């Protein structure tokens, strides 16, 4: 039961998927289509009050067969522009099979003054402006690249960078050297930003947006940059970057549309084979989740009848799986529409084994599809005249009126690590990570459960002022753990572990006030200078939990938090004796230093940092490594 689509849309969906066994496009794929149909249940809709419309139309025939897809997409752009004019404010989802089609449609729609959001994710190389920058980087890597030199010399960057004649080797060599120097001294981000600003003045909104994304990618690349510009060029070529915007029209792949809905859905790219692309090899399994037991070169039709039955069975299983996946994809595409579904297909002599062919056979029949004809239609063409329903808390706005019409080049970047004023800040954990880290150790120490367990234990230790004081209540500890996101079942295991740790004599000692009051057991008992300060005095012991600190280390400010800080204070009796002494000036300076510490009342401090790292029993080397890293 659909809670999204209007009745005409659901009727079309049922008509397609209830008749797969008799669809002429699936005549050679009966096994796969029959399995799919058996799992399909007739749909109804809870939105019977919604007006709706389904329309299937053919595009013009291309003069050259190889150009039919481009012709169909151009015709689809005309249809989308018409729908936007007729139904302003309605959401339009244009769903395609490939990312290349997204780029084509975005450009076609821009030529028709239709603003669309590009949501497929394509390499930035789909922009001519970005291609110029990559050619410039190619010159930096290889000044003899005449194709790149020609490209840059005939672009807006040529005159700016001093490359007016692409055939001039000296100009190219000077430019190559200058670019490499700028990248080394300034970095990729600032250097590409300057080039992009020059190019943006000659770009439309889309190319300017792609330049912004290129600069952002350059800043991300800077920490890993090497000497060869081809590394960055390779990153640009493989990185897929979306260009979303708050427009009514959104262009994306069918896969991307899963879970989404639109007032209007347009399907302009359905002429893809149900069997998909032929793979290089065929893989067989005894069951869908079983291990691979057969691998062979994908057999053509002439060879299949000559091969063993195992290979034939693997081929049949592969074909059925691919066809079922294609039918699932078609189902997703058809069921994204709330009100209107517009299907655009190329002309065809008969229903072929494509997604378009399945719709051809189900909605039209076995006959030919003539160019530029409405071949199927159901529902109310003027459904959009009904007012757009209000949504609580949402303010309606015409996006097109507020969308920037001219190219603007602004790159929003996160604050850099280096501060412009004051000291550069750093935390102890960053210092620990500065050295080389063994990946296996890091994964062991910082798994999700370990981090969660560590956070809980830290929170519990924070509750302890002194163990020789108030007792810890299990119910209170559970509440503390639950507040920071611990799972209740884990606490049944962690609480006994925590209690067991508190029975450890060494840990229990440093958490007890008695240890610090004992002259023989206190942590400073082997430090004569501290013992001398405390001689004849009753020390005052103070404990702080989660105590912030900051200390200057050269030109950096190290800041963090002590898990537990114990301060030992005594009376400042040494101040008077130092002042009365007849010591030399050198000795006096030394004594004043000691006296100044005593005058504050603090003669000793102990810092405790609680760690819950996983360490194999008896692995003393691992213990030493971890202690060294945290120290």
**481 and 539 housed in the same domain:** no
Q: In angstroms, how far is the first alpha carbon of the chain from the final one?
A: 62
Residue 254 shares a structural domain with residue 138: no
Measured distance CA(319)–CA(138) in Å, rounded: 44
Neighbour count for residue 276 (Cβ, 10 Å):
14
Asked if the structure places residue 362 within a domain, the reply is yes
Q: Are both 499 and 563 inside the same structural domain?
A: no
Q: Is residue 296 part of a domain?
A: no
Over residues 105-145, the pLDDT tens digits come to 988 998 898 988 888 677 888 889 999 999 999 999 999 99
The confidence score (pLDDT) of residue 27 equals: 87
Mean pLDDT of 279-303: 84
| Measured distance CA(564)–CA(609) in Å, rounded | 7
561 and 496 both lie in a single domain: no
- Cβ-contact 451, 486 below 8 angstroms: no
Does position 406 have pLDDT exceeding 80, yes or no? no
Q: What is the pLDDT of residues 442-494, one digit of tens each?
A: 333 344 444 477 888 888 888 888 887 767 788 888 888 877 767 677 788 88
pLDDT at residue 55, rounded to an integer: 97
**pLDDT score, position 616:** 59
Residue 37, pLDDT score:
85
Cα–Cα distance measured from residue 497 to residue 312, given in angstroms and rounded to the nearest whole number: 58
Residue that is last in its domain, among 389, 411, 439: 389
Residue 201 lies in a domain: yes
C-beta of residue 344 within 8 angstroms of C-beta of residue 353: no
Distance CA 199, CA 205 (A): 12
pLDDT tens for residues 172-190? 999 999 999 889 888 999 9
What does the pLDDT read at residue 614? 63
Specify whether 173 is located in the same domain as 261.
no
In this predicted structure, what is the pLDDT of residue 188? 92
- What pLDDT does 388 receive? 56
Per the DSSP assignment, residues forming a β-bridge with 341 are 54, 265
φ, ψ (nearest 5 deg) of residue 53: -155, 135
Residue pair 145/233 in contact (Cβ under 8 Å)? The answer is no
Q: Can you tell me the distance from the alpha carbon of 232 to that of 225, in angstroms, rounded to the nearest whole number?
A: 8
pLDDT of 378 strictly over 90: yes
In which domain, by residue range, is 219 found? Answer: 123-243
**Does residue 386 have a pLDDT over 90?**
no
Residue at 612 is within a domain: yes
Residues 336 and 455 in one domain: no
| Phi (first) and psi of residue 516, to 5 degrees | -80, -15
Q: Residue 414: is its pLDDT beyond 70?
A: no
Write the secondary structure of 79-147 as one string of H (helix), E (strand) and C (coil).
HHHHHHHHCCCCCEEEEECCHHHHHHHHHHHHHCCCCEEEEEEEEHHHCHHHHHHHHHHHHHHCCCCHH
Strongest mean pLDDT among 107-121, 365-379, 382-396, 580-594: 365-379
Percent of the chain at pLDDT exceeding 90? 31
Would you state the structure tokens that stand for residue 123, as one six-digit string? 């390499």
pLDDT, residue 307, reads 80
Of the listed ranges 15-19, 183-187, 324-328, 627-631, the one predicted with least confidence:
627-631
480's tokens: 């503390």
- Tell me whether residue 126 is exposed, middle or buried, using C-beta atoms within 10 angstroms of its C-beta: 0 to 12, 13 to 18, 19 or more: buried
**Residue 512 · residue 470 · CB < 8 Å:** no
Domain boundary (373, 389, 405) is at 389
- CA 396 from chain center: how many Å? 30
Domain count, the chain: 4
Taking residues 620-628, what's their average pLDDT? 69
Q: How many residues does the chain have?
A: 631
Mean pLDDT calculated for residue range 352-375: 93
178 and 97 co-located in one domain? no
Q: How many CA atoms lie within 13 A of 470 on its CB side?
A: 7
Instruction: Considering only residues 104 and 426, tell me which one the structure prediction assigns the higher pLDDT.
Output: 104
Buried b / exposed e across 15-24, counting CB within 10 Å, b at 16+? Answer: ebbebbeebb
Q: Tens of pLDDT along 64-75?
A: 888 999 999 999
Instruction: Please report the DSSP string for 295-361 in residue order.
Output: EEEPP-HHHHTTS-HHHHHHHHHHHHHHHHHHHHHHHHHHTTEEEEEEEEE--BSS--SBHHHHHII
pLDDT at res. 424: 55
CA distances from 511 to 174, 329, 468, 508, 607 (A): 69, 63, 8, 5, 12
Specify the pLDDT at position 72: 95
Residue 408 lies in a domain: no
Predicted confidence at residue 329, as pLDDT, reads: 93
Q: Take residue 470 and report the two structure tokens written for it.
A: 């108030």
Please identify, among 509, 532, 551, the residue that sits at the C-terminal boundary of a domain: 509
Residue 381: per-residue pLDDT: 92
Residue 437 belongs to a domain: no
- Provide the 3-class DSSP secondary structure of residue 464: coil
At residue 281, what are phi and psi to the nearest 5 degrees? -130, 160
Claim to verify: residue 157 and residue 209 sit in the same structural domain: yes
Residue 94, pLDDT score: 96
Instruction: Say if residue 132 is in the same domain as residue 231.
Output: yes
* One domain, residues 559 and 626: yes
Residue 435 inside a domain? The answer is: no
Q: Indicate whether 90 belongs to any domain.
A: yes
- Write down the pLDDT at residue 467: 85
Return the top range by mean pLDDT from 232-236, 294-298, 418-422, 504-508: 232-236
Assign residue 334 the CATH number of its domain.
3.40.50.300
Interval 82-107 mean pLDDT: 91
Q: What is the mean pLDDT of the chain?
A: 80
What pLDDT does residue 493 have? 84
| Of the candidate ranges 42-56, 359-373, 524-538, 567-581, the one whose mean pLDDT is the lowest | 567-581
Mean pLDDT (whole number) for 533-560: 78
Burial 460-498 (b: 16+ CB within 10 A, else e): bbeebeebeeeeeeeeebbeebeeeebeeeebeebbeeb
Instruction: Report long-range pairs for 448-455 (Cβ below 8 Å, ≥24 apart).
Output: 449/490, 450/612, 450/613, 450/614, 452/485, 452/486, 452/490, 453/490, 453/494, 453/612, 454/611, 454/612, 455/484, 455/485, 455/486
- Three-class DSSP labels, 526-589: CCHHHHHHHCCCCCEEEEEEEEEEEEEECCEEEEEEEEEEEEEECCCCHHHHHHHCCCCHHHHH
33 neighbors 23 (Cβ within 8 angstroms): yes
- Co-location of 206 and 145 in the same domain: yes
DSSP, collapsed to helix, strand or coil, labels residue 290 as coil
Query: Does the pLDDT of residue 562 top 80, yes or no?
Result: yes
Is pLDDT above 60 for 416? no
pTM for the full predicted model: 0.55
Q: Which residue has the higher pLDDT, 572 or 254?
A: 254
Do 524 and 620 lie in one domain? The reply is yes
**Residue 240 bridge partners (DSSP):** 123
Q: Which helix (H) or strand (E) holds 492?
A: helix 488-502
Which residues touch 25 (CB under 8 Å, ≥6 apart)? Answer: 274, 351, 352, 353, 354, 357, 358, 360, 361
Q: Please say if the pLDDT value at position 341 is more than 80.
A: yes
């Amino acid at each position: 039961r659909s809670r999204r689509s209007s009745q005409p849309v659901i009727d079309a969906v049922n008509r397609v998927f209830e008749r797969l066994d008799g669809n002429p496009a699936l005549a050679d794929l009966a096994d796969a289509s029959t399995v799919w149909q058996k799992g399909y249940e007739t749909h109804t809709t809870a939105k019977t009050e919604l007006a709706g419309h389904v329309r299937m139309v053919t595009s013009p025939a291309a003069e050259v067969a190889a150009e039919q897809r481009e012709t169909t997409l151009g015709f689809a752009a005309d249809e989308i522009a018409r729908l936007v004019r007729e139904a302003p404010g309605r959401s339009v989802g244009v769903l395609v099979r490939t990312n290349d089609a997204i780029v084509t449609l975005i450009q076609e729609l821009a030529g028709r003054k239709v603003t669309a959001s590009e949501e497929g994710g394509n390499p930035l190389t789909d922009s001519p402006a970005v291609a110029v920058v990559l050619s410039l980087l190619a010159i930096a890597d290889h000044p003899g690249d005449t194709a790149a030199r020609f490209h840059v010399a005939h672009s807006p960057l040529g005159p700016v960078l001093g490359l007016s004649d692409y055939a001039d080797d000296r100009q190219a060599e000077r430019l190559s050297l200058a670019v490499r120097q700028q990248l080394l001294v300034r970095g990729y981000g600032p250097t590409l930003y300057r080039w992009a600003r020059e190019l943006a003045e000659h770009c439309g909104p889309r190319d300017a947006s792609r330049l912004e994304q290129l600069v952002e990618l350059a800043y991300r690349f800077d920490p890993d940059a090497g000497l060869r510009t081809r590394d960055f060029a390779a990153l640009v070529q493989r990185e897929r970057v979306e260009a979303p915007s708050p427009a009514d029209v959104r262009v994306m792949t069918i896969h991307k549309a899963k879970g989404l809905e639109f007032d209007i859905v347009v399907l302009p790219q359905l002429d893809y084979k149900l069997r998909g692309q032929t793979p290089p090899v065929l893989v067989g399994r005894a069951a869908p989740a079983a291990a691979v037991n057969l691998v062979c070169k994908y057999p053509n039709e002439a060879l299949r009848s000559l091969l063993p039955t195992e290979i034939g069975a693997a081929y049949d299983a592969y074909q059925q799986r691919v066809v079922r996946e294609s039918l699932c994809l078609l189902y997703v595409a058809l069921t994204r529409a709330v009100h209107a579904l517009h299907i655009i297909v190329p002309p065809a002599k008969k229903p072929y084994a494509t997604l378009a062919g399945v719709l051809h056979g189900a909605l039209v029949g076995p006959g030919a599809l003539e160019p530029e004809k409405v071949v199927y239609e159901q529902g109310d063409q003027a459904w959009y005249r009904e007012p757009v329903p209000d949504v609580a808390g949402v303010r309606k706005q015409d996006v097109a009126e507020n969308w920037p019409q001219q190219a603007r080049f602004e790159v929003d970047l996160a604050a850099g690590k280096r501060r412009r004023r004051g000291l550069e800040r750093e935390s102890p954990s960053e210092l620990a990570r500065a050295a080389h880290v063994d990946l296996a150790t890091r994964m062991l120490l910082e798994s999700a459960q370990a981090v969660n367990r560590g956070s809980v234990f830290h929170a519990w230790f924070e509750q302890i002022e002194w163990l020789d004081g108030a007792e810890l209540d299990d119910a209170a500890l559970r509440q503390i753990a639950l507040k920071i996101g611990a799972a209740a079942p884990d606490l049944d295991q962690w609480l006994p572990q925590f209690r067991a740790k508190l029975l450890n004599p060494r840990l229990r000692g440093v958490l007890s006030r008695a240890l610090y009051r004992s002259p023989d057991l206190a942590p400073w008992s082997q430090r004569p200078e501290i013992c001398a300060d405390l001689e004849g005095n009753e020390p005052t012991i103070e404990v702080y939990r989660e105590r912030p600190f900051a200390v200057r280390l050269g030109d950096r400010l190290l800041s963090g938090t002590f898990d537990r800080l114990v301060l030992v204070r005594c009376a400042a009796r040494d101040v008077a004796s130092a002042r009365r002494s007849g010591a030399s000036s050198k000795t006096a300076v030394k004594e004043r230093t000691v006296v100044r510490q005593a005058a504050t009342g603090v003669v000793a401090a102990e810092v405790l940092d609680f760690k819950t790292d996983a360490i194999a029993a008896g692995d003393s080397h691992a213990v030493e490594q971890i202690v060294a890293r945290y120290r």
